[in-house]
Amino acid sequence: METLQEKEQITAMPRIGDAAPEFKAVTTQGDIDFPEDYAGNWVILFSHPADFTPVCTSEFITFAHLEDKFNKANCKLVGLSIDGLYSHIAWLRTIKEKIEFNGMKNIDVKFPLIEDISMEIAKKYGMVQPNESKTQAVRAVFFIDPKGIIRAIIYYPLSLGRNFDEIYRALIAMQTADAFNVATPADWNPGDDVIVSPAGSCGVAKERMDGNNEDLDCKDWFFCTKKMDKTTVLEKILNKQ
């Protein structure tokens, strides 16, 4: 019977704001030292349950199709599965040679896919959820910034394929927050208004409500937005590297 200590080891996961757990691994693109090899880049580290499964296949085709788009946003992709290297290679070859999804075909997966037969890395990142499966990693997505800090985490069950528009939107939103010292509201996309920090004093709150800052649209002292056009956002983010 599994002990409480063993179960906690499997389900433990790093939190937002933590340094990304370090590891060295064999991948389909050679050995990597993570996150050291990716210093200065954003990274999306994502897990999938198993090779040669249909939902995972659709996801890998989509990620590979979008890799250039993520690269332009200074973001590298790194996949992980609790499968062996040779299984990974065979699966990725099959994807390229035989599988078509949503009009995408002949897709060459160039980003690294980690071998994790021992489940050591998956356990470090809490990718194994025992109530879902003790032998497969759920669909975890870790957003790691250029300093190696975890900035966002999204988890999906085994049955649910990821939304790649949302993954990209979240990446751009976090980069926008960093670059312009703003926050992004619900459903934000580049070109939408952004949120400025709440007033930190009574004086600033009064100035905002008196309309003394023409750049701000304040519904109340704590809820102010400002316009930020799409070109400004994307030029800052996509052209900075």
For residues 74 and 129, state if they share a domain.
yes
Percent above pLDDT 90 for the chain: 68
Q: Is 93 annotated as a binding-site member?
A: no
The reported pLDDT for the residue numbered 74 is: 95
**pTM for this prediction:** 0.89
| The residue type at 13 | M
Write the DSSP string, the chain.
Answer: ---HHHHHHHH----TTSBPPPEEEEEBTEEEEETGGGTTSEEEEEEES-TT-HHHHHHHHHHHHHHHHHHHTTEEEEEEESS-HHHHHHHHHHHHHH--BTTB-S----S-EEE-TT-HHHHHTT---TTT-SSS--EEEEEE-TTSBEEEEEEE-TT----HHHHHHHHHHHHHHHHHT-B--TT--TTS-EEPPPPSSHHHHHHHHTT--TTEEEEETTEEEE---HHHHHHHHHT--
For residues 65 and 202, which has the higher predicted lDDT (pLDDT)? 65
Summarize pLDDT for 16-33 with one digit per residue, the tens: 999 999 999 999 999 999
What residues are labeled active site? 56
- Residue 236 — very low, low, confident or very high, per pLDDT cuts 50/70/90? confident
Is position 123 within any domain? yes
Please tell me whether the peptide bond between 157 and the residue prior to it is cis, using omega within 30 degrees of 0: no
Q: Is residue 141 part of a domain?
A: yes
Using one digit for the tens of pLDDT, what is the confidence trace for 65-95? 999 999 999 999 999 998 999 999 999 999 9
In terms of Cβ atoms closer than 10 Å to its own Cβ (0-12, 13-18, 19+), residue 240 is exposed
- Split into its structural domains, the chain has a count of 2
Query: Residue 85 is encoded by which pair of tokens?
Result: 């290297």
Q: Identify the pLDDT of residue 220.
A: 87
DSSP string for residues in 12-26: ----TTSBPPPEEEE
For residue 154, is it within any domain?
yes
CATH code for the domain of 212: 3.30.1020.10
Average pLDDT, whole number, for the chain? 89
Q: What is the pLDDT of residue 200?
A: 66
Question: Which range of residues forms the domain containing residue 223?
Answer: 181-238
Same domain, yes or no: 154 and 193: no
Using the CB atoms, write b or e for 129-152: b if 16+ within 10 Å: beeeeeebbbbbbbbbbbebebbb
CATH of the domain at 132: 3.40.30.10
Closest CA to 13 of 121, 117, 161, 145: 121
| Higher pLDDT pick, 222 / 6 | 222
